[in-house]
Amino acid sequence: MPNNIKAGSAKTPVKPFALKLSHEQWLAFGLACTLTIIFSLTAALTYKMGWSKLAIATLLFFLAYPLIWLAWRSYHFWRQTIMQLTTYTQVILEGETNLRFKVQHKDNLLAELQQEISALAIGNADKAQQNQTLENVLSHILDSWPIPVCLFDENTQLSYRNIAMKDKIQQPMLIGTSAADLGFVMENDALSHSQFNQQWQCQIISYLYQQKKCHIFLP
């Protein structure tokens, strides 16, 4: 028996009208509707009062400028505040901390949001400063040292090495490489390397950093 049922194509669900407009478009639409209602009520009232069409048109003409100006100023004020808040957020994300947002009225709906963004930015800046790793500190201090220095984490994986150490080992020293792969030998919680013979007085400094045991190899 032939199949007479045709497969229908899947239909894309239609979004409600409210979801098709953004908040900005809804504001413009609302202001336009408000102006239309004001003009309509004014025209209806003056017509009931017996005004001529010319008089009604003249009145609407003179009312149009101030009302449209007020609507534009309301829209511009709302849009400018949002743009300032967006710019403020973007600048903070770029790492700027000295910028201060324009003080808002305490009843402004955006004032609380601005305060939350500021608090979040300050918290992230403090967290980033606290989480500055020891490797970054050492790189600023020891990169120019003529003495070879390297740092291993709790898993004896390379976390830092200065230029002198790379020149002495004479092999690639990639961050994260294990000490054994680099030729280091761990004995009695001490590191040694064949490149540093008896003429070198090697020192191993073990310490706890963020509750993790690390080692600094310092010939």
- Together in a domain, 125 and 154: no
> Is residue 6 a part of any domain in this protein?
no
- Is the CB of residue 99 less than 8 Å from the CB of residue 88? yes
- Torsion angles phi and psi, residue 6, rounded to 5: -95, 135
Total structural domains within the chain: 2
Tokens 């007479």 sit at which residue? 4
Which of 130, 159, 180 is a domain's end point?
130
Same domain for 152 and 197: yes
Residue 159 inside a domain? The answer is: yes
Q: Could you say which of 67, 98, 130 is where a domain stops?
A: 130
Same domain, 108 and 211: no
- Average pLDDT value over all residues in the chain: 76
Same domain flag for 24 and 84 = yes
User: Could you give the C-alpha distances from 26 to 14, 15, 82, in angstroms and in order?
Assistant: 19, 16, 15
- Do 143 and 58 reside in the same domain of the chain? no
- Is the domain of 157 the same as that of 172? yes
Angle (nearest 5°) at CA 141 between 136 and 145: 125
pTM of the model: 0.42
With respect to residue 7, please indicate whether it lies within any of the assigned structural domains.
no
Strand partners, 206: 215
Residue 1 lies in a domain: no
**In angstroms, rounded to a whole number, what is the distance separating the alpha carbons of residues 31 and 39?**
12
Residue range(s) defining the domain that contains residue 72: 19-130
- Per-residue pLDDT tens over the stretch 140-179: 777 778 888 888 888 888 888 888 888 888 888 888 888 8
Whether residues 177 and 206 share a domain: the answer is yes
Residues 149 and 173 in one domain: yes
The verdict on 117 and 141 lying in the same domain is no
Most confident of 2-16, 154-168, 181-195: 154-168
Query: Domain with 182 in it: what CATH number?
Result: 3.30.450.20
In a domain, 150, yes or no: yes
Q: pLDDT value at position 14?
A: 53
The strand pair at 203-209 and 150-152 is best described as unpaired
Cβ proximity of 101 and 76 under 8 Å: no
Residues 154, 107 within the same domain = no
Q: In this prediction, what percent of the chain has a pLDDT beyond 70?
A: 66
